[in-house]
Chains A and B, each alone.
Chain A
């Protein structure tokens, strides 16, 4: 690589800056220097603004003090709590004490001993995973023992203090274990931050995981999340994504259904506006017979907001009796708003039930006129219809305190929140 190229590649600059980093991940850092960041010419990164990454300093800095106000701004829930600040586990800020639950904090010692931890640097899908693997300060593993049912939800709070954060999480549920995770992505005010979070989830046979990801970063935060879930027989993974904050968010959600009877229920919504873009990419792999997946997403974009849903379902050979549904409905509230959708099905088995649909449109003028004809103010009518559009996604959030808090957040983004509140009660 020429000296000139080196000086312009963000990853090469990063590798140079971190050349003195101790430990075994030097190899990974060295490999980084040869790579390029994802960009919009890569099919997997067609939507969203990867150029924003190019402008940010990717090197993690020393952690800044935690702003407890940011931590405490989220609604109070009766829950266990794990807090990671800039990717570092902070036991002093959390509390988790339940039989059958273990929390460990380690780091693989070598690129060669745990290739999955880094992913394939040549694959553009793994590019940020590789970056995360090379730079995450620790790997935090939450393990739930077999046959353990954790009644209280566990909150996982990821905070970016204005730094570049590379959280790495592993969640493992033993056979027939069940737990509910509420994961917050928080930022600090309007501080510039970048979070590249990677999560591996393993559900053993019969396990049930309810997992909510609540994107609440600050107005200048970039967040790139990546969740990879593997589901054994008869396990159930339910994921809910609510993206309301941040300057630019992207979630890559890969679910691999590997045992008969495994099922994934994936729902979510985003609300984009000028200066707040949201992008979702899902990949559902049906690798065993009798597996099911159900996706239901809603997107709203106002102002110059951008959003996208890029969802692919792959039914592998032999995955007979698979049932797979995918729905993405999107609402544009402004002439300059844009939402792109790309639903894809790849079916390699003959006895399957698959359906998909993606729509993007504006508010229904007939509904709007109906409300006006009953005396509602035009702004209130539009706000009400917007709320109704996302309402059936919100109503599934649990516990009730979380649902109410998120409903309130959605309402406050709409005009006439006071009137609308009546409809929500």
Chain B
């Protein structure tokens, strides 16, 4: 296997000067980020820095106002696509707080999601038998109980179960770009390893993973190629995995001070 020099690899996600406001308040203020296939990025930052806003804007949530800038995904104008089109093109958001939807079966939602993606790819609908085998396989990876098959979406799930369910969905849908918003929050160390395993299983030369996280500990298990500090609505500093360790040791203040200087 030959390694492709990263710079010659066209960007999968290219964010330029993104400015976003929520109810008149600017949350992202000129954010730039380039993510190429095969890479794992970690976006870290203090609370209120705009991390979740970035995740939600990329996934297509409606309650944000794009004030300026551009986002290209596979060379396409991402911001002009509705949320469902982004998902069908292989963009996946792992939610920080996955919502409970009683009455909507967990597995049928997954099947509908997979078929929506396959339709976009020009593939036939998944065979029901093969689908179940696939889901069972991934559930084993995520150490999820058989009962999850029959429950409503996240209905009555614990915090950790919800996060596992997000990663289960991701491993079945095999997105091209996975954005995982604080997937590590609320997980104990065993669950963290299971979730990390699931994420690592998705790594590949054609995909990219963006981990949005507050803490370094997830990065012990999922090793990032690039680490960015998001604060005050912008990427203030970028580096390799060692930056995450430094942030763990020193906190975020020094980055803010450095940026202000």
Are the C-beta atoms of A378 and B82 separated by less than 8 Å? yes
Are the C-beta atoms of B99 and A372 separated by less than 8 Å? no
A369 partner residues in chain B, CB cutoff 8 A: 61-62, 83
Least Cβ–Cβ distance between A376 and chain B, in angstroms: 6
A372 partner residues in chain B, CB cutoff 8 A: 60, 82-84, 87
Task: Check B212 for interface membership: any CB of A closer than 8 A.
Answer: no
Least Cβ–Cβ distance between B218 and chain A, in angstroms: 21
A373 partner residues in chain B, CB cutoff 8 A: 59-60, 83-84, 86-87, 92-93, 95
- Per-position 1/0 for B43-86, Cβ under 8 A of A: 00000000000000001111100000000000000000011101
What separation, in Å, do the CA atoms of A367 and B102 have in the docked complex? 10
Are the C-beta atoms of B103 and A375 separated by less than 8 Å? no
Q: How large is the interface on B (under 10, 10 to 19, 20 to 34, 35 or more residues)?
A: 20 to 34
A422 partner residues in chain B, CB cutoff 8 A: 108, 111-112
- Per-position 1/0 for A224-239, Cβ under 8 A of B: 0000000000000000
Are the C-beta atoms of B103 and A374 separated by less than 8 Å? no
Least Cβ–Cβ distance between A27 and chain B, in angstroms: 53
With A366-B99, A419-B112: A374-B87 Cβ-Cβ less than 8 Å: yes
Which of A365, A375, A378, A388 neighbours the largest number of chain B CB atoms within 10 Å of its CB?
Answer: A375
Least Cβ–Cβ distance between A126 and chain B, in angstroms: 39
With A388-B101, A392-B102: A371-B93 Cβ-Cβ less than 8 Å: no
Are the C-beta atoms of A375 and B60 separated by less than 8 Å? no
Across chains A and B, the number of contacting residue pairs, with CB separation under 8 Å, is 81
Least Cβ–Cβ distance between B8 and chain A, in angstroms: 31
Least Cβ–Cβ distance between A32 and chain B, in angstroms: 47
Task: Check A384 for interface membership: any CB of B closer than 8 A.
Answer: yes
- Per-position 1/0 for B142-169, Cβ under 8 A of A: 0000000000110000000000000001
> Apart from A419-B112, A423-B105, what 19 extra A-B contacts exist at CB < 8 Å?
A370-B95, A370-B98, A371-B101, A371-B109, A372-B83, A373-B59, A373-B95, A374-B116, A375-B84, A375-B88, A375-B116, A376-B112, A376-B113, A378-B82, A381-B84, A384-B104, A387-B103, A392-B103, A423-B109
User: Can you name 29 A-B residue pairings with CB atoms under 8 Å?
Assistant: A365-B63, A366-B99, A367-B99, A370-B95, A370-B98, A370-B99, A370-B101, A371-B109, A372-B82, A372-B83, A372-B87, A373-B83, A373-B93, A374-B109, A374-B112, A374-B173, A375-B112, A375-B117, A375-B120, A376-B84, A377-B116, A381-B84, A388-B104, A389-B103, A419-B112, A423-B108, A423-B109, A423-B112, A425-B108
Q: Which residues of A contact B (CB under 8 A)?
A: 364-367, 369-378, 380-381, 384-385, 387-389, 391-392, 419, 422-423, 425
Q: Which residues of B contact A (CB under 8 A)?
A: 59-63, 82-84, 86-88, 92-93, 95, 98-99, 101-105, 108-113, 116-117, 120, 152-153, 169, 173
